[in-house]
Amino acid sequence: MLAGWDIQAGNRLSESGRYVKLPAHVAGVGQELRALGFATRSGEDATLQAFASALLETFRRAAAGGPGFAWPTEEEIIERAGALLALAQHDLVVRIPAEFVQLVRVFLRLGGLFQHYRPQVD
């Protein structure tokens, strides 16, 4: 579970501890992220949705697996990060929940391991 989210099932824990169904696509995730405590300078969702899309894209591709899947190269990661940085500079994310920061640290470490070892996901 990621910050109250059950990624595989596409659900989110509500305040009452019950799962709430999330859309399978990224549209509307910005509102969910604001409800979890994220905020942008403008109050718009575009930056939050772009970050969610970038994160979920790799998870979905890895989960789908198959012979066509490959972990992103270092150059691809830098390119994607550059595009996200440009968007973030246009509309800064001004509030990130502390719990999410801790999870990001874990995922960055895991990402480094995946980048180094490039495991086959089944």
- Report the distance separating Cα 120 and Cα 62, nearest Å: 9
Q: Give 69's contacts (C-beta < 8 A, 6+ positions apart).
A: 61, 62, 121
- Report the distance separating Cα 6 and Cα 9, nearest Å: 6
Between the alpha carbon of residue 115 and those of residues 49, 71, 79, the distances in Å are: 24, 7, 15
Q: pTM to 2 decimals? A: 0.59
Query: What is the chain's mean pLDDT, rounded?
Result: 76
Which range is least confidently modeled, 20-34, 86-100, 106-120?
20-34
| DSSP reduced 3-state for 6 | strand
- Tens digits of per-residue pLDDT, 31-75? 888 989 999 999 998 888 888 888 777 777 777 777 777 778 888
Are the C-beta atoms of residues 55 and 65 closer than 8 Å to each other?
no
Residue 27, pLDDT score:
64
Q: What is the mean pLDDT of residues 28-33?
A: 84
pLDDT band at 6 (very low <50, low <70, confident <90, very high): very low
